[in-house]
Amino acid sequence: GGTVLLPSMLMFGVILASSGLLLMIEKGILAEVKPPPLHPAAGELPRRGGGGEEAPGDLDYEVLRDIRNRTIRAVCGQRAMPRSVWELPAGQRRTVLRHLLVSDKYRFLYCYVPKVACSNWKRILKVLDGALESVDVKLKMDHKSDLVFLGDMKPDEISYRLKNYYKFIFVRNPMERLLSAYRNKFGEIKEYQQRYGVEIVRRYRKNGGNSAGDDVTFSEFLRYLLDEEVERMNEHWMPIYNLCQPCAVRYDFIGSYERLNADANYVLERVQSPSFIRFPERQSWYKPMTAETLRYYLCNTQRRLIKELLPKYILDFFLFGYPLPNITSEFCRQ
């Protein structure tokens, strides 16, 4: 299977780095192409082993991981792509350095991505640094204090850590991540309702001036994203590519939300964290996103909106091996 799939994914990489990408989307060509899903079904997840990145014998996952790695190399190998954070424009460099968390004690850098279990990873960093007693402490997460950000360091300190520290990120299906951000921020967080929701409703709904920002529809949210410049987006819906710059930063490991516990435990073992530290269990109040929920929202949203939004998130889909959203009439009728 790998020998058949790899060339097509490499082709995607070349296309993505070329000026022909938007033209292909415009003509509807990319909408018909579905790369293989990166992750095996729930019952096929490998157990963590003691040697390499994955347990021996897990051939399917090894092939899929290889596809992703080759695709990233193909895209990032293009002449126009940045080779280091110092080649990035100042704004993009600030963004990625602001999202790289540092553990000097365990010599690793973690690029946090909102809505991809980053709160739990921040808990772990605080425990490793001694600022928090346990990952299970029931406290509201403070996303700034007791954390060290690479962007707060001097250029030579930044370069040293980028060159010598173990670097990792965790990724998630782009549409699932957007929906999670939408439901959380506009359904539960008053600050976001007032700061973003009120403006979104006023801008995209007739006679929407009286809204408190807590009734933003998913379609209105997507229209807002279409009009936003990627580099000015809030971090909760900014593309992962822009947050973590996987061409400018060579990550040693890319974990995924779909394999969260297995991948997180591998990283904890790899950085030689104390054996008593484990990745936190989901909070009892947390309601995980289901395939049915995502399908409901996608199938009840104008296809035009989703197709027009794809260019902004296309690198997240293809670099990290996620299939484009299925919004065909046949799929939505089922």
> How confident is residue 130, by pLDDT bands cut at 50, 70 and 90?
confident
Mean per-residue pLDDT, 7-24: 43
Percent of the chain with pLDDT over 90: 60
Question: Mind listing the pLDDT tens digit for each residue in 218-264?
Answer: 999 999 999 999 999 999 999 999 999 999 999 999 999 988 998 99
Q: How many CB atoms lie within 10 A of CB 83?
A: 13
- Whether the Cβ atoms of residue 184 and residue 235 lie closer than 8 Å to each other: no
Q: How many CB atoms lie within 10 A of CB 274?
A: 10
For residues 16 and 148, the model is more confident at 148
Residue 170, classed as helix, strand or coil, is: strand
pLDDT at residue 45 greater than cutoff 80: no
Amino acid at residue number 288: P
> How far apart, in whole angstroms, are the C-alpha atoms of residue 113 and residue 170?
7
- Angle between helix axes 303-319 and 174-188 (nearest 10 degrees) is 120
> How confident is residue 62, by pLDDT bands cut at 50, 70 and 90?
confident
> How far apart, in whole angstroms, are the C-alpha atoms of residue 103 and residue 53?
21
Percent of the chain with pLDDT over 70: 79
Instruction: Say how far residue 222 (Cα) sits from the centre of its chain.
Output: 17
Among 246, 229, 281, which Cα is nearest to 117's?
Answer: 281
Place of tokens 């007739």: 206
Task: Give me Rg for the CA atoms of the chain.
Answer: 20
Cβ-count burial 7-41 (b if 16+ within 10 Å, e if not): eebbebbebbbeeebeebbeeeebbeeebbebbee
What's the chain's average pLDDT? 82
Amino acid at residue number 229: E
E strands, 82-223, are 100-103, 108-111, 166-171
> How far apart, in whole angstroms, are the C-alpha atoms of residue 227 and residue 210?
22
- Angle between helix axes 303-319 and 59-76 (nearest 10 degrees) is 100
For residues 327 and 48, the model is more confident at 327
- Whether the Cβ atoms of residue 96 and residue 85 lie closer than 8 Å to each other: yes
For residues 266 and 11, the model is more confident at 266
Question: Mind listing the pLDDT tens digit for each residue in 183-207?
Answer: 999 998 999 999 999 999 999 999 8
Mean per-residue pLDDT, 1-5: 37
> How far apart, in whole angstroms, are the C-alpha atoms of residue 291 and residue 179?
11
Mean per-residue pLDDT, 302-331: 92
The two structure tokens encoding residue 3: 């020998």
> How far apart, in whole angstroms, are the C-alpha atoms of residue 312 and residue 309?
6
According to DSSP, the β-strands at 108-111 and 253-256 are: unpaired
Question: Mind listing the pLDDT tens digit for each residue in 149-181?
Answer: 999 999 999 999 999 999 999 999 999 999 999
